[in-house]
Chains A and B, each alone.
Chain A
Amino acid sequence: MSHNQAVWKKYLLVLYVGAWSVILVAACIWLTMFLVGTLGDPFDDKQKHGPDLDAFDSVVALTEEKVVRYLGEWEFLEPKLPGHFHHVGRWYQPDKWNFCVQCHGPTPHSRAPQQRAFLNMHNLFISCQVCHVQEAEGVAPTRFGWVDISDGKLCANPSMAEGVWGEYGAKIVPLKGTAENPQPATLDEEEAFAAKFRKQVDKLNDRQKVVGNKLIHRRCIEEPVRCADCHNSEKAYLPYTTLGYSAERSEFLVSAEVADLVARYETFYIPNLLRTDGQSRQQTGEGSQ
């Protein structure tokens, strides 16, 4: 055996012995902790972790906690929503593309008590830009398409088969570019700024935060698109048939039934997003939708 071989053999032996030693020592420690941990009152252990906070549980439940329903022939996993009576079945597909969602979440509307749930419902299939952003002051978008919510790329009109209400894996977005080469009207500069802002927000002072926040929202319009702008039989903001809605569904969306419903809600609503005196004009109160 050459000298080199002998040295290598020695190294390997050291490595081998070292590995076994570490494994055995770790096993000793684990076994001791495990066995000693089996003694005593199980509650003592749980109490060491501190009291559970209902609010925290509630937040966690929205994202992580699941519960299985065992029904013999079949079973399903659904999000655990404390205090929720009806079954949810599953959670909806997350929007990984829209950068507004990263801060505002999938349930962003919270101000208008009568409308917020409805507006959040539209969040399933309409991107924020459709109602809240204009390319230029006073220039409302006129062309719309669908983007895949997993990658933000323009996609064909999704299937709107009955039973997938609003969950198309895609969202409506305003379009820019030529008719031959349309592109989603994105907020590239704002998005890049927001990404940086989010990373450094802890280091910024209050004034910097306010300025940064203003900049991110600089293209948001003061008065967003209203429900009646889409749900009216005169001139709907969104071109339903072009977006792939069936004639029947398009008709329904602008029908008197929906328009009447919208009118009932809009009576209570004064759009005031980003309005400086918005809070004072806002109707508040919980317990209503």
Chain B
Amino acid sequence: MKHSKIGNYDTPLDLKVAGLRPGAILLAFTLALLLPQALYAVDSENCLMCHRFRGLARVDKDGDYRLFYVDEELFSQGPHARVSCKGCHADIDKIPHDGAKPVDCLRSCHIEEPTREIIFTHSKVREHLEGSVHALTADDGTLRSHGDDFPRCKDCHDIPLFRPVSLFKTVRAGVSDRAISRCIVCHSDEHFTRYFYSHVTTRMHKARDSREVVTMCSSCHADPALAKRHGLSDVVSSYLETYHGKAVLFGSTLAPDCLDCHSSKGNVHEMRAKTDPRSSVHPDNRAATCNAEDCHSSAGPALASFDVHATRNAATHRLEFGVAMFFVIMTLAILLPILTLNVLGLIRELIPSHEAEAEIERLVEIAEKRAAAEGGLQRFTLSYRLQHVFLVTVFVVLCLTGLPMKFPEASWAPPIYQLFGGIRGAPIVHRIAGVSLVLGFVFHVGMILLNVTRSLAREGKLSIVNWIKAVLALPMIPKPQDAKDIVKLVKYVFFLSPERPNYGRFSWKEKLEYLGLFWGIGLLAVTGVLLWAESISTRVLPGWVLNVCYLAHTYESILAAAHITLVHIPGVIGRPGVSPLSAMIINGNISPRALAEEHGGEIINWTPAEEVK
């Protein structure tokens, strides 16, 4: 859209500047009012003759790049489109322009405020700013220290642009042609109508996208030096750790940005310190802010104790630090020893002991005989293979919809998230996958316990004691032998013993993984549901529990993902001779060599003792 250059109609104030007589001004003003709106050429001074060139720039002596270019198209798409250049740059009245002063945003413009036919001005903002946390003077009138740090208009605002919305049957971005077609029945100038429509509807929702708002606030609040001068914490990082912040980063227009919580009833210039009783984030008002109609309206007032700006700083957030520390230690304590043993085990595979080699060859021979006799060695039944496929699928979906949420600023996160519908779809998919995982796990455990019960019933030995004994005897339950196997493995990989451990049906690593599922799925399910149903959970629990839930959920997810990718996958399919994929997960059969190497104890168990000797 380009500005039409029809005529050179100066606004009344321009005429004054030109030194014309009041009568002429009145005549010109009257004529101007009678003219169609389109004739109010904004660039009546023809400033764009020069300022439409993108290269109109210089570098001043301080090294500041000064660009004098004005993008006509962008300029015409905002509420300032009808303000002439001199409306703001009032002191520029000759060519060459010399000594132009910074624009005073609170001055009176050359346009009329339509409701009262007075000259428009932003000067009211001055009153709103008084007493706000961003004002240069405190409530008692004293100047605040580090005055240069306090924001001027241009620090928060660049020239605004319209973000019109259509509100017919659904709310969507853009101008409603239906509405326009009705407007132009009376207001025949479509250009004006669209402008007016855009102006009004922009004000009916967020005038700026949440991402822009967060970026704008971050320009000061993410600056450590500035924050230190004013005794502030890193509110940006902590906000971006919350679901609010992550959703905003993924482009959600519904998630709250800084202004939604910190500005009183939408007047962003009246932002007050959290210690000010008038502040929307003052402890007394926080519940009302969180429970606002458009936000967590059905949540309990306890939600207000959820700390949006919680960090893991031991000095300021002991609880969060403690929880995070617990998970960090647990994760590293589990993964690092296992990974060390895995790496050393791989190296030991290159330099096996003669005894271990001979033992494996002997067991392979036995296993091959049995495989030939039985037509293969089945390790997993169809039912277990299907359960594994289900678990893999659900786990992958949970990772793909969860990890981007954990790392929303990573370049890979948005495209992956978009595969699942972005911020609108992916959280729903994540929850469905989470519920499926819990149901699948309950089914798995239920099936095993049912089999134990049936087996005991068939043998006529069904009693609680026998049932517990049978459950503890299940092959996935750790036994004292597992501790011995660990010691044997450590000795073997450190070349302290030539004897390689022969695991039974399940090794200690597999048992650890299996038991980890009980801990992991349980913890993720509980914390996930509490976070998901924050409206219900905060009716019975304090809001800070959600801080703990978030930390537990996120750290446990990392542990699970790291364990699967670093321990399970390399340990199971990364072994030489198995990579890239073991056929076992497809057909359930294990090769005699793999069985001898990984579960030699099982071969020993089904071989007569004297033959083994």
Contact = CB atoms under 8 A, between A and B. Distances in A.
Interface string A147-179: 000000000000000110111000000000000
Given A17-B347, A117-B58, A84 B99 contact: no
Nearest to A116: B58
A39 B69 CA distance: 46
Contacts of A89: 71, 73-74
A120 B57 contact: yes
Interface in A216-268: 261, 264-265, 268
B224 interface: yes
- Contact-size category for B: 35 or more
B165 A72 contact: yes
Contact of A110 (B56, B58, B209, B223): B58
Nearest to B349: A17
Interface string B315-354: 1100001001100100110011001101100110110000
Interface in B475-527: none
Given A17-B347, A36-B328, A121 B67 contact: no
Contact of A70 (B211, B342, B347): B211
A41 B313 contact: yes
A107 B58 contact: yes
B52 A13 contact: no
Contacts of B315: 41
B2 interface: yes
B162 interface: yes
B67 A35 contact: no
Given A85-B159, A86-B159, A43 B96 contact: no
A158 B71 CA distance: 21
A15 to B, nearest CB: 10
A38 B350 contact: no
Nearest to A39: B312
A28 B336 contact: yes
A288 B346 contact: no
B611 interface: no
Interface string A1-26: 00000000000011011001101110
A198 interface: no
Contact of B209 (A70, A84, A264, A288): A70
A38 B324 contact: yes
A121 B311 contact: no
A209 to B, nearest CB: 22
A39 B325 contact: yes
Contacts of A52: 223, 225
A62 interface: yes
B222 to A, nearest CB: 8
B103 A88 contact: no
A38 B558 CA distance: 12
Nearest to B103: A85
Contacts of A69: 161, 209, 212
A32 B570 CA distance: 19
Contacts of A84: 67, 158
B346 A43 contact: no
Given A20-B574, A70-B211, A39 B174 contact: no
B9 to A, nearest CB: 18
A167 B52 CA distance: 11
B53 interface: yes
A124 B62 CA distance: 23
B174 A121 contact: no
A68 interface: yes
A55 interface: yes
A58 B65 contact: yes
Interface in B55-105: 55-71, 73-75, 95-100, 103
B54 A167 contact: yes
A88 B328 contact: no
Interface stretch (B18-26, B187-195, B233-241): B233-241
A167 B54 CA distance: 8
Contacts of B238: 42
A107 B96 CA distance: 20
A107 B154 CA distance: 24
B100 A55 contact: no
A59 interface: yes
B413 to A, nearest CB: 15
A17 B56 contact: no
Contact of B71 (A88, A114, A117): A88
A114 B96 contact: yes
B315 to A, nearest CB: 8
B217 interface: no
B456 to A, nearest CB: 43
B96 A39 contact: no
Contacts of B259: none
Most buried by A among B65, B328, B565: B65
A21 B347 contact: yes
B562 interface: yes
Interface in A91-127: 92, 106-107, 109-110, 114, 116-118, 120-124
A268 B97 CA distance: 12
B162 A25 contact: no
Contact of B55 (A40, A81, A120, A286): A120
A47 B228 CA distance: 10
B558 A86 contact: no
A106 to B, nearest CB: 7
Interface of A: 13-14, 16-17, 20-21, 23-25, 27-28, 31-32, 35-36, 38-43, 46-47, 51-52, 55, 58-59, 61-62, 67-73, 81, 83-89, 92, 106-107, 109-110, 114, 116-118, 120-124, 162-163, 165-167, 261, 264-265, 268, 286-289
28 contacts: A13-B576, A20-B574, A21-B343, A24-B570, A27-B562, A28-B340, A41-B316, A46-B222, A47-B225, A58-B64, A62-B65, A68-B211, A69-B161, A70-B211, A87-B161, A89-B74, A107-B59, A114-B96, A116-B58, A124-B54, A124-B55, A162-B2, A167-B54, A261-B50, A264-B95, A287-B98, A288-B96, A289-B97
Interface of B: 2, 50, 52-71, 73-75, 95-100, 103, 154, 157-159, 161-165, 173-174, 208-209, 211-212, 215, 222-225, 227-228, 233-234, 237-238, 251, 311-316, 321, 324-325, 328, 331-332, 335-336, 339-340, 342-343, 346-347, 349-350, 558, 562, 565-566, 570, 574, 576, 579
| 5 tightest Cβ-Cβ pairs between the two chains A and B | A72-B173, A70-B209, A124-B55, A42-B237, A41-B313
